[in-house]
A and B are shown apart, each in its own frame.
Chain A
């Protein structure tokens, strides 16, 4: 398997649930990202990891918690989300933080 793989592809969760999104890249890249895409806003960069160290956190609410255990895996832990958090969450990776990013297929999240 190659590229960037995200699981699950679709997720429906209640506001009191805890869930995690998973991203795996097989490209040997050093940087990984979480983006949020909703109908109301353009692509929002949430978190950036470079060599497993977080280098960017764009004022994301604490109900979103990222984890990068190694350079190939990235998680987004979700808890007590709000309906406005419903969106497409995209994972991406790149060789360096400013180089071409390759995106996964995304997780369509619905908070009910």
Chain B
């Protein structure tokens, strides 16, 4: 069974600070996705990471993938209040009864002024 673990699950931080969210997964995959969800809303795709060493950046967010370590990180630089949301990582896998994307539990991020 494919398992995806995120940590931390809850993060409260101040504006201007840096922090990293971690996503570990249990089986070989080179497809890792990050999504954002605002309260009461659906999921919005942030990053698609498709190879070992992939790094993507958008504004204050940067995501990376290490397929050998089965680890992805989402780094937040100089956080601002607008980044408050829940962030999910998801691993893409096909076969073995686990077709589709398996999501982590999400990291609920609150950024305080």
Contacts and interface: CB of A to CB of B under 8 A. Distances in A.
Contacts of B94: 96-98
Nearest to A108: B40
A103 B42 contact: yes
Contacts of B100: 31, 33, 45, 48, 56, 97-98, 101
A45 to B, nearest CB: 5
A105 interface: yes
A103 B31 CA distance: 17
B99 A43 contact: no
How big is chain A's contact interface, by range? Answer: 20 to 34
A99 B31 contact: yes
Nearest to B98: A56
B68 interface: no
Contacts, number: 61
Interface string A75-112: 00000000000000010101011111111111000000
Contacts of B33: 100-101
A42 interface: yes
Interface in B11-61: 29, 31, 33, 35, 41-45, 48
A55 interface: yes
Contact of A42 (B31, B45, B97, B105): B105
B42 A98 contact: no
Interface of B: 29, 31, 33, 35, 41-45, 48, 88, 90, 92-94, 97-106
22 contacts: A33-B100, A42-B103, A42-B104, A42-B105, A42-B106, A43-B88, A45-B100, A45-B102, A48-B100, A50-B99, A55-B99, A56-B98, A56-B99, A90-B42, A97-B92, A98-B31, A98-B92, A98-B99, A99-B92, A101-B33, A101-B90, A103-B43
